[in-house]
Amino acid sequence: MAETVQAVELQEKEPLFGAKEKRLLIDPLSDNNPITVQVLGICSALAVTTLVIPSLVISVAVVFVCAFSNLIISLLRNVIPKQVRMIVQLVVIATLVTIVELTLKAVNFEVYKQLSVFIGLIITNCIVMGRLEAFAMANKPWRSFLDGIGNGLGYGAILVLVAIFREVFGKGSFAGIKIIGNTSDFMINTAADGSWFAWYSPNNLMVLPAAAMFLIGIVIWVQRSRNPKLVDIS
């Protein structure tokens, strides 16, 4: 009886940000990244990463949906019948995605138009559903919430990184700021007389979905080169 009381007291004294909680936030950024290690969410990484701003918006949306869907499902995990658990999960995700979609439509209609159908496709994003099945259904709400944030951030980090390379080298701009191009609208006008960058021309390959695949492949290669233990994981 005394041992049981001590165990309960230890559980109550667990810190909000202990070592386990920190790993839930940090591991998805490196050793357990949803895209480069778990190989999830590749389709959206190919589709929305032509520009930095839309990629950042999608990343924030996925963090929100993943975190709060994990939290809600974890709170309900003991009362959800196993036979309909995936239906319940989809309803929760769809509700959160609808909130994101309507909010973005009201706040920034231009970005909403750019993303259009890709916002709705968060519902089918295997990262979100995967974390509900693999983590939220078996863990407490706080840890599930942190797991959702961590995996959302890990997913978003790759999206933004790929988008930076694609926009800079494919369009000559960064986050909509025109950096280098062949007109006077750009900070560096390659068509100007005596320009040192007259040789430069944006690489049109970078705006194609294939470029995102190449870049993700390079990130995976670099990550596994630096950390050989990841070679056989995915």
In the chain, where the domains are located: 41-171, 173-202
60: Cβ contacts below 8 Å, ≥ 6 apart = 156
Q: How far apart, in Å, are the Cα atoms of 102 and each of 47, 78, 116?
A: 21, 31, 11
Give the closest residue to 56 by CA, choosing from 128, 148, 164, 149: 164
What's the pLDDT at 8?
Answer: 46
CA 124 to chain centre: 14
Consecutive 10-residue averages of pLDDT for the chain (234 residues)? 49 71 88 86 81 92 95 94 91 94 91 84 86 91 94 93 92 87 84 77 85 90 85 64
Give dist(CA 206, CA 215) in Å, integer. Answer: 9
What's the pLDDT at 233?
Answer: 61
69: Cβ contacts below 8 Å, ≥ 6 apart = 89, 92, 93, 96, 128, 132, 136, 148
Can you give the pTM of this predicted structure? 0.86
Give the closest residue to 28 by CA, choosing from 192, 154, 163, 147: 154
DSSP 55: H
- Cα radius of gyration rounded to whole Å, the chain: 21
What's the pLDDT at 137?
Answer: 92
What's the pLDDT at 230?
Answer: 79
67 torsion bin: left (phi>0), alpha (psi -120 to 50), beta (else): alpha
200: Cβ contacts below 8 Å, ≥ 6 apart = 180, 190
